[in-house]
Amino acid sequence: MQVIHSPHEIFARVGFERKEGQRVGLVPTMGALHAGHLSLVERAKSQCDVVVATIFVNPAQFGPNEDYAKYPRTREADLECLEAIGCDYVFAPEREQVYGPDHSTFIDPPSVAKRWEGELRPGHFRGVATVVLKLFMMVPADIAYFGRKDYQQVAVIRKMIEDLNLPIRLEVCDTVREADGLAMSSRNRYLSTEERKRALGLSMALRRASELVGEGVVSSRMIEEEMRRILIDSGVDRIDYAQIVHGDSLEPLEQTIAPAVAIIAARLGTTRLLDNWTLA
Residue numbers at the binding site for ligand PAF (CB under 6 A): 28-30, 58, 61, 128, 131-132, 150, 153
Q: CB-wise, 142 or 150, nearer to ligand PAF?
A: 150
What is the closest distance, in whole angstroms, from the C-beta atom of residue 219 to ligand PAF in the complex?
33
What is the closest distance, in whole angstroms, from the C-beta atom of residue 167 to ligand PAF in the complex?
19
**Active-site choice (5, 37, 124, 246):** 37
What is the closest distance, in whole angstroms, from the C-beta atom of residue 256 to ligand PAF in the complex?
27
Q: CB-wise, 75 or 221, nearer to ligand PAF?
A: 75
Q: CB-wise, 170 or 222, nearer to ligand PAF?
A: 170
What is the closest distance, in whole angstroms, from the C-beta atom of residue 125 to ligand PAF in the complex?
9
Residue 246 annotated among the catalytic residues of the structure: no
- Distance CA(137)–CA(133), nearest Å, equals 6
- Distance CA(238)–CA(198), nearest Å, equals 12
Q: How far, rounded to the nearest angstrom, does the alpha carbon of residue 16 sit from its chain's CA centroid?
A: 29
- Distance CA(49)–CA(30), nearest Å, equals 23
- Distance CA(81)–CA(38), nearest Å, equals 8
CB proximity list for 72: less than 8 A, separation 6 or greater = 31, 32, 186, 189
Q: CB-wise, 29 or 256, nearer to ligand PAF?
A: 29
**Residues belonging to the active site:** 37
